[in-house]
Structure 1
Amino acid sequence: MNVNPAARTDPPGIRDRLAVVVPVFNEPDIHRTLDALRQQGDAADLRIYVVDNASTDATAQRVRDFAAAHPSLDIVVLTERQKGTGAACDTGFRQAIADGFPIIGRTDGDSEPEGDWSARIRRTFAEHPGVQLVGGTSVPLRDRHYRWGDTVLMTGALHLLRIMMAARHLDAAFLRFVAGHNMAVRSSAYLTAGGFARTAIDERDEDIDLSARISRRFGYRAVRIDSALRVATSMRRVRRYGVGMMGVHHLVPALRGKLIRTIDIR
């Protein structure tokens, strides 16, 4: 495990590797995410940046323990004390860019990418040079928050949300927004678009904002949704908010922390 990425001497082939950023805050089950990344077919060619967003529990130590138990997995632990997935992810992405990675993926600490996730990301960018940002399909994680029917609920809700946001903003860029737990971007596009806004969930959705900016800057086809790029993610926020309030949360950010009680889950 490397906790000081600035001091690392990278192998000549680093530009053929993929970085994955995982923002975490009080994640008791972070080992599930890390184990899903460990089981990727090209895990030996991954570097994982886990960005601890000032957890108040032992999340960072859990990550270090996992890294110690699996020394073949390249894990870097970073700390970002400014609250928010936007701030945490931006810290991780910019470190990965500084370390020379041309493509950076992201998933979250309550999510599990399928076994071909990283390989599909590499292949998409290799086969489609005009694509700058890629997202995929979200399915419910079979954790303690799972309920029967969640697969249909999640799929339908994401499609509906894209349509509603595009209509609200009168901007087709929102029709292809990607979810933060299942995405990858070219480093050059990330920098050109300004990266993730260093915001918290009670302010903005940094993943949706970045998707729209890349689409506007590079064109609609620069964002690709690969239905076979699958990540299972927890329904815990839906269980806490409720489906209706989740919709209002995304469509009317100004109400967060006012009419809508913000849930500090990352």
Structure 2
Amino acid sequence: MTQLWVIVPAHQEAERIDATLQALARQRDLDFTLIVVDNASTDTTGARARDFARGAPFPVHVLDEDERGVGCAVDTGFRYAISRGATLLARTDADCLPEEGWTAAARAEFARGAEMVCGRIVARADEHGPLGRAGFRVLVAIATAFGRIRPGHWRRNNGFRVPYRMHAGNNMGIRSELYATVGGMPRRPAPTDRQFLNRVRRHTAAISYARDMVVANSTRRLRAYGLIATARWYLEQGSGHHLEDPR
């Protein structure tokens, strides 16, 4: 029997997590267990998740992870789910809005034999206008192109079994057995998502991309940094004079 668990890491997301939780409650496939990992928040993030849990249409576990960092929160949540029988894992973030078919699309890809599935990301319509959403599409295209040409991501001499594909950590799924095999999500340092994808690429070629597995991303960083500085961030060139990540 397959058991799908959804993990949502959250740090200081009191203003946005309600919308994420409601988006999960609107899924067409509600046969999953949710874990919210409160990652050292000092606001009411954890309390809001616990309030939601009392009336949620699926089981909800709220964990506290005091070690700051998204990799720490994700790894803690994934390992907790696996220890309780999860066979399929999916992740989004506490400032994202999964579309109503998100869990169904992930489950369908696993049923077709995927070991890991990556979905499509778009910009949240409630945070930016058309120009901002267009800027977000440009950033995704830049990050995708950069990833493909970067020597460290080439199959040749790196042991990768599949070509590089843009992977958003806030829209992905993986089988529990594979997660354990590759050693889990790196807890340090950032960017953990790219390091994790490359671990998986060395172990399996069964990585699929599902266009109907859609998550709307926050564009806060674009608003706070601007297009150029945000591109620098995604290309691992640092944040320039910006010292604190708005996410």
Indicate whether the TM-score tops 0.5: yes
Where does residue 124 of structure 2 map in the other structure? 141
Please state if 1:178 is matched with 2:167: yes
Deviation of 1:260 (Å): 5.1
Q: Of 226, 243, 246, which aligns to 1:242?
A: 226
CA contact (8 A) 2:136 2:222 kept: no
Name the CA distance, whole Å, in 1 between partners of 2:222 and 2:115: 30
TM-score w.r.t. length of structure 2: 0.89
Where does residue 244 of structure 2 map in the other structure? 263
Where does residue 164 of structure 1 map in the other structure? 146
Where does residue 87 of structure 2 map in the other structure? 102
Where does residue 32 of structure 1 map in the other structure? 19
Deviation of 1:39 (Å): 0.8
Where does residue 218 of structure 1 map in the other structure? 204
Where does residue 4 of structure 1 map in the other structure? none
TM-score w.r.t. length of structure 1: 0.83
Q: What are the Cα deviations for residues 198-217 of structure 1, in whole angstroms up to 9, with x where unaligned?
A: 13xxx412112111221122
- How many residues are paired up? 239
Q: What are the Cα deviations for residues 170-192 of structure 1, in whole angstroms up to 9, with x where unaligned?
A: 42467313111111111111111
Query: Which amino acid is 1:17 matched to?
Result: Q
Deviation of 1:262 (Å): 4.1
Secondary structure at 1:180 match in 2: coil
Query: Which amino acid is 1:76 matched to?
Result: H
Q: Of 55, 61, 64, which aligns to 2:47?
A: 61
Question: Which structure shows the higher helix fraction?
Answer: 1
Please state if 1:198 is matched with 2:182: no
Matches within 5 A, 1:119-138: 119-127=104-112, 129=113, 131-138=114-121
CA contact (8 A) 2:221 2:245 kept: no
Secondary structure at 2:150 match in 1: helix
Structure 1 residues 134, 34: CA separation in 2 closer, same or farther (over 3 Å shift)? same
Name the CA distance, whole Å, in 1 between partners of 2:119 and 2:228: 23
Percent of pairs with identical residues: 35
Structure 1 residues 152, 262: CA separation in 2 closer, same or farther (over 3 Å shift)? same
Structure 1 residues 71, 229: CA separation in 2 closer, same or farther (over 3 Å shift)? closer
Name the CA distance, whole Å, in 2 between partners of 1:19 and 1:38: 14
Pairwise CA RMSD of aligned residues? 1.9
User: What stretches of structure 2 of length at least 5 have no aligned partner?
Assistant: 155-161
CA contact (8 A) 1:177 1:211 kept: no
